[in-house]
A and B are shown apart, each in its own frame.
Chain A
Amino acid sequence: MSKTLLDIKNLRLSFFTPQGEVKALNDVSVSMQEGDVLGIVGESGSGKSVTASSIMGLVSHPGRIIGGTIEFNGHRIHEMSEKEMRNIRGKEVSMIFQDPITSLNPVYTIGNQIREVIYLHTDLNKQQAYERSVELLKLVGINEPERRLKQYPHELSGGMRQRVMIAIALACEPKLLIADEPTTALDVTIQAQIIELMMELKRKINMSIIMITHDLGIVASMCNKIVVMYAGKVVEAGTTDEIFYNPKHEYTKGLLRSIPRINSEKHEKLVPIDGTPVDMLNPPEGCPFAPRCEKCMKICLRRMPEFTQITSTHKSACWLLQKEVFEQKRREGK
C-alpha cells in the first residue's frame, strides 16, 4: 500500500499586484502517492507552475497563499517558516525548470553549482563532495565528468545543461522531483533522451515525479496520473488511460483534439480551441472555460461547477456531468 506523498487541498493563491488581485489558484486540489508520475497539463497562465512553486514554498512576492493546505511527506508546507522550508528544498523535494541556459549561473563552474547543493544538505567534505559530483554526472549520462565539472554553463549544449540541472536536483536523493516544462526549450530528440533519463532515474532511486507541461505527448509516455488545469482551477483529474480514452471535460477533449496525430486521416482538421484565455484580474463567476465551450449552458456562466466523481480515480468539474445526474434524479423523483 503506497503512501500519500503529496496532498494539496483547496489551495487558493493570489498575487496582489498594483493592478489588483490576480487569482492565480482558485480552489486547487491535487494528490499523489509515492511512486506516481503525475502530469499537470494546461496552457500558460493555467496555474500549473504556481502550484509547483507553492509546494516548494517559492511563490514570490506579491503572491500569497490565502486558503487551503499543502501536505508533503509529512510536512504541513503552508504553515512552515522560511527556515524550515530551506531544509526541505533541494533535499526532499527538488525542482528543475524550463530553460537550462538561464537556470544555471553563467559565472560559476558546473562543479561549483553542483557542490553547492551538496554542501547545503550534507556533511560531506570537499573531497567527498567532488566524488559525489562525479558520480552524479555519470548518473545523468554525461561523459568525461571530471572535465565537465570545471567548465562553465555556456560551454555545454542545451541537453547537457538540462542533465546537469537534473544532477543538481537529484544530488540529495529527493522523494519528489518537480519538472516544470523541462523539455520545452530543447530539441525533440534531446527531449526524448531527457525523459528517458528521468524515468530511469526514477526507477534507480525510487523517486516520484511531477511533470508540468502543455505537451500531451510527453504526458502520455511518462505519467500514470494526470491533472488538467485551466485558469487556476483543476478541471479534470484521473489516470492517464482515463483521461486519454474517456475525457469528460470539454477543455480536455479540446486539448486532445488539437494534437496532430501521425496516423490520422489526411483530411482530418486540426481543431484549435476557439476564443481567448481568461483575464485573471477579473475571473468570471461561473466556469472559466464557459465562453470558449461549445456546449456552454446558462448555468455554466453563473456558477462554478462542482466535481463529479466518475470513477474512484477520475473526476471532472463540469455542469454537463451534473446535468446527467440531475436528470436522472428527476426521473427517479417522478
Chain B
Amino acid sequence: MNNKKNPFSFQLNVSDFLPAEESEKQGMVVMRESVSFWKDGFRRLRKNKLAMASLFVIIVIMISAFIIPAFYPYSYEQQIRGSENLGIMEYSESELERIEAGEKVFPHLLGTDSLGRDLMIRIMVGSKISLLVGIIASAIILVIGSAYGSIAGYFGGKVDMIMMRAVDIIYTVPDILIIILLSVTLKYPLKELADNVTGFEWINTVGIGLISIFVVFSLLYWVGMARIVRSQVLMLKEQEYVVAAKALGASDSRIIKKHLLTNSIGTLIVTTTLQIPSSIFTESFLSFLGLGVSAPMPSLGSLASQAIGGISSYPHRLMAPAVVISLIILSFNLLGDGLRDAFDPKLKN
C-alpha cells in the first residue's frame, strides 16, 4: 500500500484489519506451565529458604550423630581418669604430659563431665538417640495409625463406629501420665524378659528405657494418625461413589484417584515429618525426668538434667545439649511446615 495520508493519526493500514492467524493468537495466550504435583511441590519447597536451611541443619546433625562417632577418638561411656571436669578445649595434666611426649591428643571440644567423659561425643550419641527415637517412633505411629485408620475407613459402618469410639477414649486419656506410669513400671517385666528368656537379650543392649518409650508410643500416640488416615480413606471412598454415579470414563476415575492418592501421601508425609519432633520432644522430656535411656547411654534430656547442678561453673554443659535439642526439634518443625506449605493444594493461589 502506498503511504497515503491517513485520517487516523496512529497509522492504521488495511493490513491491520486482516484476520489474525491461529499462530499469532496462540502467542498471546500465556499458558501457565502445568506441572506435576510432585515437581510443583518440590519447586515450592526449594524456594522456602527457612525449610531448606532446616533441611541442611538436619543433615549436618545426622552426619554428626550417625557417622562421626564411628571415627571419633572418644566413646560415650569412656571415663578418662584424671580428665574430670575439664572446661572447653582444656587438657588434663596427664594429657598435657602426653602431648609434650609427642603424642597427639584430640582435644575435648566441649570439655568433660564429672566422670571424665568427653562431652562432645556424648552429645553426638545423645543426638543419635533422639533422632532414632523420633524416626522409629514416627514410623511405628505411621504404620499402626495407617493400618487402623484405613481399616476403620474402608469398612465403615459399625466397625468404623466402634473403632473410632475406642480412638476417642484413648484420645482423652492423659498421655503424659500414662507414659510416666508405663516408663516406671515396664522396666521390671522387660528386665525379667531380658535376663531370663532367651532371644530377648537385645533388650538390655538397646536399653529398657528406650523400649518403654517405644511401647508407650505404640500404645497411645497413633490415634492422631489414625484419624487423619481414616478421613483420607473416606474421601477416596466417596470419590469412588461419585465416579460410579456420574459414569465417567475410566480415564477420569483414574485421574481422580491418582490425584487423591498423591494428596493423601502428601498429607501423610507432612504429618509424619511433624510427628518426629513431637516424639523427640517427649523423649527428651522423659529423659530429663530420669525415665528415658539408662546410664551410661546419654540422651540430650538427661545430659541437660545432669548439668543443672553445675550451672554456675560449667554453663556449657547445659547450653550445649539444650541448643542441640532445640535445633533438632525446631528444624524438623520448620521442615514440616515447609512441606505442608509446598504440598497442601488448598494453599495454592
Binding site for B on A (CB under 8 A): 275-276, 279, 282, 284, 286, 290-291, 295-302, 319, 323, 326, 329-330, 333
Contact = CB atoms under 8 A, between A and B. Distances in A.
B24 interface: yes
Given A296-B19, A297-B20, A298-B16, A286 B7 contact: no
Interface stretch (B27-35, B184-192, B337-345): B27-35
A333 B12 CA distance: 14
B14 to A, nearest CB: 8
B19 A299 contact: no
B288 to A, nearest CB: 42
Contacts of A275: 29
B25 A298 contact: no
Nearest to B10: A303
Given A291-B25, A291-B28, A300 B7 contact: no
Please tell me the size bucket of the interface on B: 10 to 19
Contacts of A329: 7
Contact of B24 (A282, A298, A326, A333): A298
A297 B19 contact: yes
A295 B32 contact: no
Given A276-B29, A286-B28, A298 B8 contact: no
A47 to B, nearest CB: 18
Given A326-B8, A329-B7, A333-B4, A298 B15 contact: yes
Q: Report the 7 A-B pairs with minimum CB-CB distance, sorted nearest first.
A: A299-B16, A296-B20, A279-B30, A291-B29, A291-B25, A323-B17, A284-B28
Contact of B30 (A282, A297, A299): A282
B29 A300 contact: no
A299 B12 CA distance: 9
Contacts of A286: 28
A302 B15 CA distance: 13
A307 to B, nearest CB: 15
Contacts of B17: 297-299, 319, 323, 326
Interface string B79-100: 0000000000000000000000
Given A298-B24, A301-B25, A301-B28, A333 B19 contact: no
A294 to B, nearest CB: 9
23 contacts: A275-B29, A276-B29, A279-B30, A279-B32, A284-B30, A286-B28, A290-B20, A290-B25, A290-B28, A291-B26, A291-B29, A296-B19, A298-B15, A298-B20, A299-B12, A299-B16, A299-B17, A301-B25, A301-B28, A302-B16, A326-B12, A330-B14, A333-B7
A298 to B, nearest CB: 5
A261 B329 CA distance: 63
Contacts of A301: 20, 24-25, 28
Contacts of B18: 297-298
A304 to B, nearest CB: 12
Contacts of B28: 284, 286, 290-291, 301
A298 B18 CA distance: 6
Contacts of A290: 20, 25, 28
Interface in B237-257: none
Contacts of A300: 20
